[in-house]
Structure 1
Amino acid sequence: MARTVRFAVIAAVAAAALALVSCTPKAETPKPQPKVAPPAIAQEGTLTVGVDLATPPYAGTDGGRIAGLDVDVATALAAKLGLGVRFVDVPPSEAATALAKAEVDAVMSVPFDPRSLARVSLAGTYVNDAPAFFVATDSTASVVPSLTVQAVGSQKIGVQTESLAYWLLLDELGEQQLTEFETLREALDALSSGDVDIVAGDAIVGAYIVRDIPTLHFAGLVAPATPLAVAVAAENTELSDAIRAALDELAADGALTQARRTWLGALPEFAADGSEDATTTP
């Protein structure tokens, strides 16, 4: 219940922030001209975007309203293109299929890696993610995020079953040091109660969860970060170019940083391999 209430609160704050960005009088603001049109997008005047509604804070629903980091970025992106926005539930793993069937124009949070590049066009990145460590303290004081796999010693580590962090640590440390949980939330609750010494899991999802638990802190990366990108159909160069330019504008005017801060709080920005910062577009 607490997570649901807080998701609604953050969603309201995010909506207010977006409203402030565009709160100039309508009489002084001419209606923006769309920068892309069919066939680059399926519907005239609207960017149809796939988001993963099952994975807050990327996206989720509360009271029938869709909100999240990807929702904020996609909404701002569509505005830069002079378009409205419509959301469809599409996990990143199904991006290529949804794009090939023209169910969506773009999909958020697709990893910028060779496997993705072989199936879709990655128009630009907007945030970096990684498997990360989280630790508990006796107070709300911040923690220097310097923990590494080599430094965990024999401490008991909580992980979500079959997550990326699980497979990486299983290979590095062996099964005996890992305690498995069905969800990252359950692992972090166990960390809070002292049942495990460390938790390893998705940095973005974990950072969102620990905002409920002020004695839990991001403590370092399990492995290098990967940029997350906006994917479009491989042949859709017009939309890809337009999205890339719009993301560059959003990075320059601070909108990407604001969206990240709204949903992830104090989680530091970490560079990915081949990326100078979390808002660099390829």
Structure 2
Amino acid sequence: MYKISSKALATIILLAWVCFAAGAYAQAPAGNDFAKIKQSGILKVAIYNDFAPFSANSKGIDVDIAQALAKKLGLTVSFLPFPAGEELSDDLRNMVWKGHYLGYGPADLLMHVPVDPNLINQNDKVSIFAPYHRETVRLVRDTRKVPEFDNLDSMTGKAIGVEKISIGAMLLMGAEDGKFRDNIKIFPDATAALEKLKAGELDGVVANRSEIESVVGKDANFQMSEVAFPRLPSKGWVIGMAVKKDDQELVKLLQDATATLVSSGEMAQIFAKHGVTVVTP
């Protein structure tokens, strides 16, 4: 995983768990209302770079969802791809309510934002809403090399791939006092790790369920399992979207359009197109 800044999302998720347990656009002023968007006929949508299966090379689940939402609003889409910042708050500032100091953004809408109470409280200039998917971390293994899986101990001594600076990497590195650290193989992204798994060069991979499904598919040689990490909520985290706080008309329209996509089955079809099963929050 990445984009949403893996480091930032990891911090958000762990903080939530701790609290529970104890081209380029000229920079525009915040506050574009829907009347201006409707007049232009264009919905500017920010999407993360290199974030398969959600947004990579102008394709992916978030790309298709944004296009479907814009169509329901009678608009066309103009995408603003961008690299994740160090913190989620950076992304919200640069791509939603202010714009980057280099003059890129803001967009009218940012896709793939965790619907997290802590994040919402820390960013009072944006509205985070319309949850459309629940993401979880899973382990996928080559059943020819690891026929049985009871818990993480079943992977002792096995080569496990993870994406650098990801939740999966962070959790696995710290699991059982670093027991698996010497067997972890680091890759630039989850897709690269999963391709090595398919090529027989790894025994397993820890990644987001959506990433695993999109690459491995229904190949019977690979089985996905839930892993209980003490610092990660078992139900994962919920993904939604964000707009400027004062764009409440746009919030209402996008909420209604998202609900329609879900109820009509179109949301599930979009995920299925990319080999992923949607998990409705």
Q: 1:87 and 2:74 equivalent?
A: no
Q: Which moved more, 1:162-171 or 1:96-105?
A: 96-105
Work out the number of aligned pairs and report it. Answer: 226
Q: Deviations over 1:193-233 (max 9, x none)?
A: 44433210122223222249663343335643211111111
For residues 162 and 173 of structure 2, the distance between their equivalents in structure 1, rounded to whole angstroms, comes to: 10
- Residue 147 to residue 258, structure 1, CA distance change in 2 (3 Å): farther
Q: 1:73 and 2:75 equivalent?
A: no
1:46 to 39, 42, 47: 42
Query: Alpha-carbon deviation of 1:90?
Result: 3.1
Query: Alpha-carbon deviation of 1:185?
Result: 3.0
Q: Determine the structure 1 residue equivalent to 2:263.
A: 252
User: Contact 2:38–2:75 at 8 Å: present in 1 too?
Assistant: no
Q: Which runs of 5+ in 1 are unaligned?
A: 1-35, 270-277
The TM-score, its normalising length taken from structure 1, stands at 0.69
Query: Alpha-carbon deviation of 1:256?
Result: 0.6
Q: Determine the structure 2 residue equivalent to 1:232.
A: 243
- Residue 150 to residue 121, structure 1, CA distance change in 2 (3 Å): farther
User: Contact 2:159–2:184 at 8 Å: present in 1 too?
Assistant: yes
User: Contact 2:110–2:242 at 8 Å: present in 1 too?
Assistant: yes
SS state of the match for residue 86, structure 1? strand
1:37 to 27, 31, 34: 34
For residues 239 and 150 of structure 1, the distance between their equivalents in structure 2, rounded to whole angstroms, comes to: 49
SS state of the match for residue 205, structure 2? strand
Q: 1:56 and 2:62 equivalent?
A: no
Q: Determine the structure 1 residue equivalent to 2:23.
A: none
Query: Alpha-carbon deviation of 1:250?
Result: 0.8
For residues 110 and 220 of structure 2, the distance between their equivalents in structure 1, rounded to whole angstroms, comes to: 33
Q: Which runs of 5+ in 2 are unaligned?
A: 1-32, 99-104
Q: 1:187 and 2:193 equivalent?
A: yes
Q: Which moved more, 1:150-159 or 1:229-238?
A: 150-159
User: Contact 1:130–1:221 at 8 Å: present in 2 too?
Assistant: no
The TM-score, its normalising length taken from structure 2, stands at 0.69
Query: Alpha-carbon deviation of 1:148?
Result: 4.9
Measured on the aligned residues, the alpha-carbon RMSD in Å equals 3.0
User: Contact 2:164–2:186 at 8 Å: present in 1 too?
Assistant: yes
